[in-house]
Structure 1
Amino acid sequence: MRGAAAYGRVSVESNVLSASPHQLISMLFDGAQQAIKSARLHMSNGNIAEKGKAISKAIDIVNSGLLAAVDKEKGGDLAERLESLYTYISSLLLKANLKNDEALLDEAARLLEDIGSAWKEIGRQASADAGA
């Protein structure tokens, strides 16, 4: 098991080192979704400590990754809206943890999915335009 975990860390580190800035943000969306899935599983199993760790990880990804990456100088109105959305998602996650509320986890996951899929589509279009 220890070897598999080490291999997984090396794989993630390799992906991060070779990723474009756009891909790094996509990885943050994926990581937040994975943390929320883990929190949902721990919540349904009554594992409060692990649920809290998973939600804390999701909040950290949203605040220290996604929110921190918002460029207010270049982004204008869109950046302000994203900032508000990320702040709202963090509050949903915090409330989900405090209230043990799966519906709040679902809402946070849905919002992250909407933003993340739009972000990934922009990346696909940019790649297609660069290749044209």
Structure 2
Amino acid sequence: MLMRHGQFGAARARYQSIDMASRIEGASPHGLVAILFDELLKALDAMAAAIRRGDLGQRGTRQARALSILHGLEGSLDFEKGGDIAKGLSAIYREARRLTIAGAQANDAEPIVQAREMLNEIASAWNQIG
């Protein structure tokens, strides 16, 4: 049985959705944040690639996803318990949002790459805490 290209895309999307749901379902709170970082980095990579290709639709979709995740990460910070670390992370998330928006407005991938590099350091440190 042969699948048409459109059917393959739909099947792949369903598989990815199931894969994500199973990853989330079995994750610890620490693991959930790791998943958010992973998805954020993927969204920024896809956004930068879309800008380079001139694909405004994908750029907007990936920008919305990245900004949503950044808001979620910042909203999950506990400023009472986290103190200066939470304040520092909040500032980094705000700067990443600023760079993401600036990159989209200028149709320039470089600010997106800068945001990704900054966030990748945090994601790597988070994964090492594991």
TM-score, length of structure 2 as denominator length: 0.89
Which of 15, 18, 21 is the equivalent residue of 2:29?
21
What CA distance in whole angstroms lies between the structure 1 residues aligned with 2:107 and 2:37?
Answer: 22
Name whichever of 50-59 and 16-25 sits farther off.
50-59
Q: Which residue of 2 aligns with 1:58?
A: 66
Q: Which residue of 2 aligns with 1:113?
A: 120
Report the CA distance between 1:3 and its aligned residue.
2.7
Q: Which residue of 1 aligns with 2:80?
A: 73
Q: Which residue of 1 aligns with 2:105?
A: 98
Deviations 1:47-88 (A, max 9, x none): 11211111111111111x211111111101111111111111
Deviations 1:90-109 (A, max 9, x none): 11101111011211011100
Report the CA distance between 1:4 and its aligned residue.
2.8
SS at match of 1:70: coil
What CA distance in whole angstroms lies between the structure 1 residues aligned with 2:43 and 2:63?
Answer: 7
Which of 91, 95, 112 is the equivalent residue of 1:88?
95
Deviations 1:17-51 (A, max 9, x none): 10001011011111011011111111111111211
Confirm or deny that 1:48 pairs with 2:56: yes
SS at match of 2:76: coil
State the Cα RMSD in Å: 1.0
Q: Which residue of 2 aligns with 1:39?
A: 47
Confirm or deny that 1:8 pairs with 2:8: no
- Residue identity matched to 2:118: L
Q: Pick 1 or 2: higher relative contact order, CA cutoff 8 A, min separation 6.
A: 2
TM-score, length of structure 1 as denominator length: 0.88
What CA distance in whole angstroms lies between the structure 2 residues aligned with 1:88 and 1:41?
Answer: 20
Size of the alignment, in residue pairs? 122
Percent identity, aligned pairs only, is 31
Runs (4+) off by over 4 Å: none
